Amino acid sequence: MRNCCNWAFKLQQPIRNVTVLVVGLDKAGKTLCTRGMLRAPLGKVSSTHGCVRYELRLENFLVNLLDTGGGPNFGVRSREYYGEAHGVIFVVDSSDRQRMKEVKAHLTDLLKHPRLAGKPLLVLANKQDRMNALLGSELVEVLSLEKLVNQSRSLCHIEPCSALMDLQRWSDRKTLRGLRWLLQAVSLDYLNLNARVVRDIGKSPGLQEKERKAKSEKCQRKNKVERTITIVALSFALGLFFVFMGTIKLTPRLSKDAYSEMKRAYKSYAKALPGLKKLGITSVLLRKIIGTVEVACGVVLTLVPGKPKDVANFLLLLVMLAVLFFHQLVGDPLKRYAHALVFGILLTCRLLIARQSDERLEREEQREEQVNAQEKNKIKVS
């Protein structure tokens, strides 16, 4: 009953955005520990350069993990991210006894920094699977951890773990257990910590929202450019193909054999459709009509910008459907009309991509008009 009540209580809690900074010396196992928290599979791990961001949803927290690279200057490089952090994970290679003085020096500098002092600290005593690894209690003494956290007034917890072993099992991951403790510690003073983050990075929530919108608009512009390149390339290729095919139907200059084959094919189409004779359409006229349409629409697809391309696309699609109908009518095998089927599909794809782009532009314009109208109404009210 108690577990059910706790579960119901957690559901009622708001989703909180928490940024956690993962730091430590090089080869301490920061990336493996991060993967353990993410429940990621064991894979090849290389040295982290700069800062890599990961997102994780854990209970009522949306966690942004900042995995910073190690190396001799990692403190200088990671300093720019101090203001964003609600809490800190410091990863220690507990088997590397020779570097404990270096670990202590970095940890001292970390906790003395005004943007991190007072923020919850999780120390992951990594590589506990090794024989010479220091225990958690031994690390507390070696690093003078109690003294450091008392001076910085930070909540602290040390979690002995093995990131490598965590990645080989699904449940009871020590790295994830440590992260849960850190999130609970952050939640105890979330309002004050969040206010510090906003102040330290010098951004209001409104500005952060604007930045998010700017990023989404940038992605939309990038997608628009990619779609435009796709449409232009497809239009150019299709246009050249239909100019070539239409020319073969109209004149033997490109290929006498292909021209003769076209003449024979269209004679068979005219015989299979006796209604064409009643309309006065001979096989020669039918071939020239289709050839002229293909050449004209191919030129439009290749050279003319804007809406005429879509009209040409639609007309060529109708021509391909007519050609497929002719082939079926005379009982041709698939290899005789496979090209018409393929290019009919390509024309359909090009038309759909173009229509989607147009609809998105229209939606964006409507949105802008609505926003402008709302701003005008606000000005009038004020």
Binding-site annotation, residues for Mg(2+): 31, 48
For tokens 């609970």, what's the residue? 184
Tokens standing for residue 52: 């890599």
Cα 259 to Cα 146, 246, 287, distances in angstroms: 91, 10, 10
- DSSP string for 179-228: HHHHHHHHHHTHHHHHHHHHHHTT--HHHHHHHHHHHHHHHHHHHHHHHH
Helix/strand/coil for 130: coil
Helix 256-272 and helix 308-330, axial crossing angle in degrees, nearest 10? 70
Binding site, by residue number, is 24-31, 48, 70, 126-129
Binding site for GTP, by residue number, is 24-31, 70, 126-129
Cα 335 to Cα 40, 263, 289, distances in angstroms: 49, 18, 24
Under 8 Å between Cβ of 325 and 344:
no
DSSP 154: -
Helix (H) or strand (E) holding 381: helix 334-381
Give the separation between CA 150 and CA 291, rounded to whole angstroms: 87
Residue 75: CA count within 13 A, CB half-sphere: 15
